[in-house]
């Protein structure tokens, strides 16, 4: 069972999912995400697979605990999906062809648009975990998609900061950050016609010459 629990200090919800403790470690001689397992199609390039142990559900659970005025609880409404990158068990994302990655991006886009139609969904997060240390039990190449019924705290703070900056300065904060990084150049990791990636200013260690 799972539920959302309200953190009154941070004014945000936390997902508590006791059902995820029952997730199995994958047997060495079998993988549910490989063709032939009976769990996925015999032939696929990329695939959306509903998570077997979701923290969020379109048919939510009844909360395990009873809340109060201070410690509120709510149903775990939302959606958790597994996005399979490839039918090949040992293929990693960097090893996929550009054409294959294009199919993967199209699937992300398709799922984002479909889940966005639900007015109860407030934020959609596409991500990938790697390694047993962070709870990965299935090594088959995959990522995940979580559709939240709320905007996570860090994202909400960033959005509120951008709105405040715009009303004060009349400028888009993200646009100005991109312009300053483009002019400075030294923190840019990669840039093309569509994207720019750079090290955040706050994480940059200044060079000291003695």
Of the two residues 24 and 156, the one the predictor is more confident about is 156
Same domain, residue pair 24 and 111: yes
127 part of a folded domain = yes
- Burial of 21 per CB tally in 10 Å (0-12, 13-18, 19+): exposed
208 part of a folded domain = no
The pLDDT tens digits for 70-119 are 999 999 999 999 999 999 998 989 999 999 999 999 999 999 999 999 99
Token pair, residue 162, equals: 């951008």
The pLDDT tens digits for 143-180 are 999 999 999 999 999 999 999 999 999 999 999 999 99
**Beta partners for 126?**
145
Which residue range forms the structural domain that includes residue 160? 156-203
Same domain, residue pair 97 and 44: yes
> How much is the pLDDT for 206?
60
Same domain, residue pair 29 and 123: yes
Number of domains in the chain: 2
Residue (of 102, 152, 104) closest to 128 by Cα position: 104
**Rounded to 5 degrees, what are φ and ψ at 104?**
-65, -45
Catalytic residue among 43, 89, 140, 142: 142
Q: What does the DSSP 8-state code read for residue 184?
A: H
210 part of a folded domain = no
Same domain, residue pair 74 and 20: yes
Same domain, residue pair 51 and 116: yes
**Rounded to 5 degrees, what are φ and ψ at 181?**
-70, -35
Same domain, residue pair 96 and 161: no
Of the two residues 194 and 208, the one the predictor is more confident about is 194
Give Cβ neighbours of residue 25 (< 8 Å, ≥ 6 apart). Answer: 137
Final residue in a domain of this structure, among 137, 152, 167:
152
Q: Is 142 among the catalytic positions?
A: yes
209 part of a folded domain = no
Instruction: Tell whether the torsion through CA atoms of 178, 179, 185 and 186 is positive or negative.
Output: negative
Residue 133 pLDDT exceeds 90:
no
Give me the CATH number covering residue 29: 3.30.428.10
Q: What does the DSSP 8-state code read for residue 208?
A: -
> How much is the pLDDT for 130?
74
Same domain, residue pair 137 and 166: no
């Amino acid at each position: 069972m799972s539920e959302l629990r309200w953190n009154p200090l941070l004014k945000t919800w936390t997902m508590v999912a006791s059902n995820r403790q029952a997730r199995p470690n994958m047997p060495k001689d079998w993988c549910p995400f490989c063709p032939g397992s009976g769990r996925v199609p015999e032939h696929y390039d990329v695939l959306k697979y509903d998570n077997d142990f979701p923290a969020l559900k379109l048919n939510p659970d009844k909360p395990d605990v009873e809340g109060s005025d201070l410690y509120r609880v709510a149903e775990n409404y939302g959606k958790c999906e597994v996005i399979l990158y490839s039918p090949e068990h040992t293929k990693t994302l960097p090893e996929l062809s550009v054409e294959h990655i294009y199919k993967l991006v199209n699937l992300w886009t398709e799922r984002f648009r479909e889940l966005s139609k639900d007015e109860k969904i407030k934020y959609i997060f596409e991500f990938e975990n790697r390694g047993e240390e962070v709870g990965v039990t299935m090594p088959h190449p995959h990522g995940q998609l979580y559709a939240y019924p709320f905007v996570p705290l860090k994202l909400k703070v960033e959005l509120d900061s951008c709105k405040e900056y715009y009303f004060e300065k009349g400028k888009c904060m993200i646009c100005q950050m991109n312009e300053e990084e483009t002019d400075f150049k030294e923190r840019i990791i990669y840039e093309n016609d569509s994207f720019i990636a750079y090290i955040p200013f706050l994480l940059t260690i200044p060079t000291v010459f003695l």
